[in-house]
Amino acid sequence: MIRMVKSRIVNLIRKEFQQLRRDRRLLAIALISPVLQLVLLGYAANMDVERTPTVVLDQDRSEYSRLLLSRMFSGEQFVPAGYVENDEQVGEALDEGSASVGIIIPHGFARDIRSGDHAEVQILLDGTDSTAAMVGQSYAEMIVKRFSAEIAAGGAVGAIAGGLVSPVARVWYNPALESRNFIVPGVLALLMMVMTTLLTSLAIVKEREVGTLEQLIVTPLRSFEIMLGKIIPFALIGMVDVCLVVFVVTVVFGIPVQGSVPLLFGLAGIFLLTTLGLGMLISTISHTQQQAMITAVFFVMLPMIFLSGFVFPIENMPPPIQYLTYILPLRYFFVIIRGLFLKGVGLSHLWDEAVILLVFGLVIFLVSALRFRGRLE
């Protein structure tokens, strides 16, 4: 009996693979696009605020104004995007977006410094990108303060930089503060979620719309056998995808897995259980392929992209939405994947996330199996 069940499932899997092979494009997309996307998006996803284009209006043209500007552009933070003649041109540069910061050193800057009056520098910031503006503002003000302390301390041009109290900073886990190390493992998790949900969400509704589901129903196959037969090929494709994207992250981006690699694959398998299950659930509750697509994109993929902590920190969200994030499997997988890639923690830190994902996966599977059986009878 068990052998019969097994052989029936194997036959079904073979049939699914045959269908996949006939639709070459589907298989090609499923295997190639995650790698392409990861490379493309991984290089693009960079939130570091540096090399901010800065437009300069130096009306003073003195030793002091030049010194301040050289301090401004000596770091990675600001790069000159043009020197202009008047206020209007500074405004235009910001309007067009050719510069995000404007520095205006007014007439009499050096004179005020020498006479001991307050000399002023104007800094204009494009606040459209609030994060960049905030970081840019604090850097610009810090540079001016250091310059000011430099002058107050020595008076002489070229004296020591830095104030009386200086912070010595040490950064953990991501010492270069590259947002890429944080984002790329996130893109990996997103791609896994998108690909597997995409593949399974049309699996059953497609057969229903084309009319072949009836043929499957009149065979001696049982509902869970049909489901397993549908899921196993996609699970295999999903695992191949995982291998490919982990390879790209470690080799192309040079972000090593700090934790255990077998643990990474094991937990990725558990995560796939939840996304494949969600796709299956969508497929059993939808009537048309278009409904399945709308449900998958709007109710599964978008909330996972926006609310799981991919780039938008969960602690910033209002409490009701924070509660909502607890039902998103990706939320837990992000903790896992960042723990393994960046922090190098082990199962002792991640077991609660792993258990929650496993429970999610099993519940989702059970629900979609029940729905499916209800549909068949």
Partner 1 sequence: MGSAARVTALVKKEFRQIARDRLSLGLLLLVPLFLLVLFGYAISLDVKHVRLGIYDGDRSTESRTYLRSFTRTEYFDLAAVLAAPAEVDREISHERIQAALIVPPGFSEDIRRGARAEVQVIVDGSNGTTAAAILGYINGITADYAERLSTGGLHGMVRLSARTAHPAGETGSGPVEARSRVWYNPELRSTLFLIPGLVVFILLITTVIATSMSVARERERGTMEQLSVSPVGPFELVVGKTIPYTVISFVITLGVLLGSRLLFGVLIKGSLLFLFGASLLYLLGGLGLGLLISTVAGSQQVAFLISVIATLLPAFILSGFVFPIRNMPQIIQAITYLLPARYYLTVLRGIMLKGVGIAVLWKEMIFLAAFAGLTLLGSMARLRRWL
* Residues within window 302-361 making contact with partner 1, judged by CB under 8 A: 302-303, 305-307, 311-313, 316-318, 321, 338, 342-343, 345
User: Which DSSP symbol is given to 136?
Assistant: H
Q: Which of 298, 323, 326, 351 binds partner 1 (CB under 8 A)?
A: 298
Residue 81 to residue 79: CA distance in whole angstroms: 6
Q: Strand, coil or helix: what is 222?
A: coil
- Answer yes or no whether residue 48 interacts with partner 1 by CB under 8 A: yes
We find the least distance from the C-beta atom of residue 295 to partner 1, in angstroms, to be 8
Q: Which of 93, 194, 242, 270 binds partner 1 (CB under 8 A)?
A: 194
User: Which DSSP symbol is given to 326?
Assistant: T
- Answer yes or no whether residue 284 interacts with partner 1 by CB under 8 A: no
We find the least distance from the C-beta atom of residue 2 to partner 1, in angstroms, to be 33
- Answer yes or no whether residue 227 interacts with partner 1 by CB under 8 A: no
Closer to partner 1 by Cβ: residue 7 or 288: 288
Region of 188-196, 263-271, 275-283, 367-375 interacting with partner 1 (CB under 8 A): 188-196
- Answer yes or no whether residue 30 interacts with partner 1 by CB under 8 A: yes
Closer to partner 1 by Cβ: residue 8 or 77: 77
Q: Which of 5, 11, 35, 37 binds partner 1 (CB under 8 A)?
A: 37
Residue 247 to residue 266: CA distance in whole angstroms: 16
Q: Which residues of 105-135 are buried (b: 16+ CB within 10 A; e: fewer)?
A: beeebbebbeeeeebebebbbbeeeeebbeb
Residue 349 to residue 210: CA distance in whole angstroms: 47
Q: What is the 3-state secondary structure (H, E, C) of 253-288?
A: CCCCCCCCHHHHHHHHHHHHHHHHHHHHHHHHHCCC
Q: Which of 13, 35, 41, 347 binds partner 1 (CB under 8 A)?
A: 41
- Answer yes or no whether residue 291 interacts with partner 1 by CB under 8 A: yes
Closer to partner 1 by Cβ: residue 220 or 319: 319
Q: Which residues contact 220 (CB under 8 A, 6 or more apart)?
A: 8
- Answer yes or no whether residue 133 interacts with partner 1 by CB under 8 A: yes
Query: How many residues of this chain bind partner 1 (CB under 8 A)?
Result: 118
Residue 249 to residue 41: CA distance in whole angstroms: 11
- Answer yes or no whether residue 89 interacts with partner 1 by CB under 8 A: no
Residue tagged 């979620």 (tokens):
193
- Answer yes or no whether residue 247 interacts with partner 1 by CB under 8 A: no
- Answer yes or no whether residue 276 interacts with partner 1 by CB under 8 A: no
Residue 230 to residue 11: CA distance in whole angstroms: 11
We find the least distance from the C-beta atom of residue 55 to partner 1, in angstroms, to be 12
Residues pairing with 27 in the sheet: none
Region of 6-14, 132-140, 230-238, 360-368 interacting with partner 1 (CB under 8 A): 132-140
Backbone angles phi, psi at 99, to 5 degrees: -140, 150
Supply 193's token pair: 């979620």
- Answer yes or no whether residue 97 interacts with partner 1 by CB under 8 A: yes
Site string for partner 1, 140-159 (x = CB under 8 A): xxx-xxxxxx-xxx------
- Answer yes or no whether residue 295 interacts with partner 1 by CB under 8 A: yes
- Answer yes or no whether residue 51 interacts with partner 1 by CB under 8 A: yes
We find the least distance from the C-beta atom of residue 365 to partner 1, in angstroms, to be 22
Closer to partner 1 by Cβ: residue 256 or 366: 256
- How does DSSP assign 30-87, residue by residue? HHHHHHHHHHHHHHH------SEEEEEEESS-SHHHHHHHHHHTSSSSEEEEEE-SSH
